[in-house]
């Protein structure tokens, strides 16, 4: 159901010339709800004018008597900023080299891995399992033997007109024990079907390809372990922020050392590719040996 709601103050906002002083007096939470998040407040004042530039008639076929609220307009504005380019039609990707930043050749990807149906529920299952397995489970409350207090009988068994009490820390008393509370040794891990885990990887890899966030690099071999040198190379490839690098059987030592200190960048061997990291990092860069490793692991052979 679409909720196209009219604005709360039509005289203020539908009027073409609204004074900015009224805007300045508005509370932050109102502005935050309308405008794209992450914008500094100084910019939010000025951006009201940009909404007029957007042509809403093309995006939505609205009848002339309906008008969009500022929230709707901001959502459209946000969506336009984030709109994804169309997914690649072929499974042949260009292979880049790290030193030059240019394409070296072409690689054809396995359709069973990289053109898998996007099952978001499976991705959710696998990521939830991953995060549960890594839980420490160390939440602890004091048990009856640990909570401070003696075992002295607090008052007489009979004759008080009040409930009987043996010690001063029962669960329903103030300062009392937490009954059946966490004991500091809870294991949150559980087993998930191996085939589901593999399907999760296929789903997430094909999602990255669809969003054009997948790049193939020929090797991660670098001459030195210096971070500064690698950072430049990655910047040329637009892989310096929030990227996951997946190598083959072993991650190249120099590369691992060099990228260790770059925030948002993580370098793993082929088996370290997991759904959570792939979804968390915006970009995904796989080496050629990494592609071989993953295709050997995840390929579905059609009989």
Nearer to another protein (CB atom), residue 7 or residue 254 = 7
Contact status, residue 216 vs residue 257, Cβ threshold 8 Å: no
In the complex, minimum distance from the CB of residue 39 to another protein, in angstroms, rounded to a whole number: 18
CA distance 96 to 77: 33
Q: Any contact of residue 211 with another protein (CB under 8 A)?
A: yes
In sign, the C-alpha dihedral spanning 160, 163, 166, 167 is negative
127: left (phi over 0), alpha (psi -120 to 50) or beta: alpha
Total number of residues that touch another protein (CB under 8 A): 40
CA distance 166 to 104: 80
Number of other CB atoms surrounding residue 149 within 10 Å: 14
Q: Any contact of residue 280 with another protein (CB under 8 A)?
A: yes
Q: Any contact of residue 299 with another protein (CB under 8 A)?
A: no
Q: Which of 87, 94, 151, 182 binds another protein (CB under 8 A)?
A: 87
Q: Which one of the spans 109-117, 214-222, 239-247, 259-267 is the region binding another protein (CB under 8 A)?
A: 109-117
Nearer to another protein (CB atom), residue 233 or residue 295 = 295
Pairing of strands 265-268, 283-287: unpaired
CA distance 295 to 109: 9
Q: Any contact of residue 127 with another protein (CB under 8 A)?
A: yes
Q: Which of 85, 159, 161, 263 binds another protein (CB under 8 A)?
A: 85
Q: How many CA atoms lie within 13 A of 203 on its CB side?
A: 20
- Residue 23, judged by CB atoms within 10 A of its CB (0-12, 13-18, 19+), counts as middle
Residues numbered 4 to 23 that lie near another protein (CB under 8 A) are 4
CA distance 156 to 64: 82
Nearer to another protein (CB atom), residue 19 or residue 86 = 86
In the complex, minimum distance from the CB of residue 83 to another protein, in angstroms, rounded to a whole number: 5
Q: Which of 124, 135, 153, 235 binds another protein (CB under 8 A)?
A: 124
In the complex, minimum distance from the CB of residue 213 to another protein, in angstroms, rounded to a whole number: 8
Q: Which of 9, 79, 133, 139 binds another protein (CB under 8 A)?
A: 79
Q: What is the per-residue binding string for another protein in 38-77, x denoting contact by CB under 8 A?
A: ---------------------xx-----------x--xx-
Contact status, residue 279 vs residue 299, Cβ threshold 8 Å: no
Q: Any contact of residue 204 with another protein (CB under 8 A)?
A: yes
Pull the structure tokens for residue 201: 């990887």
Q: What are phi and psi of 217, to 5 degrees?
A: -120, 145
CA distance 259 to 224: 11
Q: Any contact of residue 177 with another protein (CB under 8 A)?
A: no
- Kindly list the residues in this chain that would bind another protein in the complex (CB under 8 A): 1-4, 59-60, 72, 75-76, 79-80, 82-87, 111-112, 116-121, 123-125, 127, 203-204, 207-208, 210-211, 276, 279-280, 300, 302
């Amino acid at each position: 159901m679409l909720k196209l709601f009219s604005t709360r103050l039509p005289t203020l906002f539908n009027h073409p010339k609204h004074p900015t002083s009224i805007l300045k007096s508005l509370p932050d939470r109102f502005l935050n709800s309308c405008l794209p998040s992450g914008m500094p407040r100084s910019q939010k004042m000025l951006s009201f004018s940009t909404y007029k530039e957007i042509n809403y008639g093309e995006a939505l076929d609205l009848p002339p008597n309906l008008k969009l609220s500022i929230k709707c307009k901001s959502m459209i504005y946000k969506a336009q900023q984030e709109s994804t380019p169309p997914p690649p039609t072929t499974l042949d990707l260009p292979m880049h080299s790290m030193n030059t930043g240019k394409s070296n050749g072409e690689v054809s990807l396995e359709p069973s891995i990289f053109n898998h149906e996007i099952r978001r529920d499976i991705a959710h299952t696998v990521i939830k399992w991953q995060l549960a397995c890594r839980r420490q489970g160390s939440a602890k409350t004091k048990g009856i033997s640990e909570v401070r207090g003696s075992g002295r009988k607090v008052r007489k068994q009979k004759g008080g007109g009040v409930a009987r009490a043996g010690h001063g820390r029962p669960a329903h008393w103030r300062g009392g024990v937490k009954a059946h509370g966490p004991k500091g040794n809870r294991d949150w891990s559980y087993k998930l079907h191996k085939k589901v885990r593999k399907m999760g990887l296929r789903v997430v890899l094909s999602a990255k390809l669809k969003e054009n966030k997948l790049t193939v690099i020929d090797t991660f071999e670098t001459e030195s372990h210096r971070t500064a040198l690698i950072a430049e190379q990655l910047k040329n490839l637009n892989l310096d922020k929030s990227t996951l690098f997946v190598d083959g059987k072993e991650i190249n030592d120099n590369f691992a050392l060099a990228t260790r200190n770059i925030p948002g960048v993580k370098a793993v061997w082929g088996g370290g590719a997991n759904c959570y990291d792939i979804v968390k990092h915006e970009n995904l860069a796989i080496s050629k040996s990494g592609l071989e490793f993953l295709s050997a692991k995840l390929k579905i052979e059609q009989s």
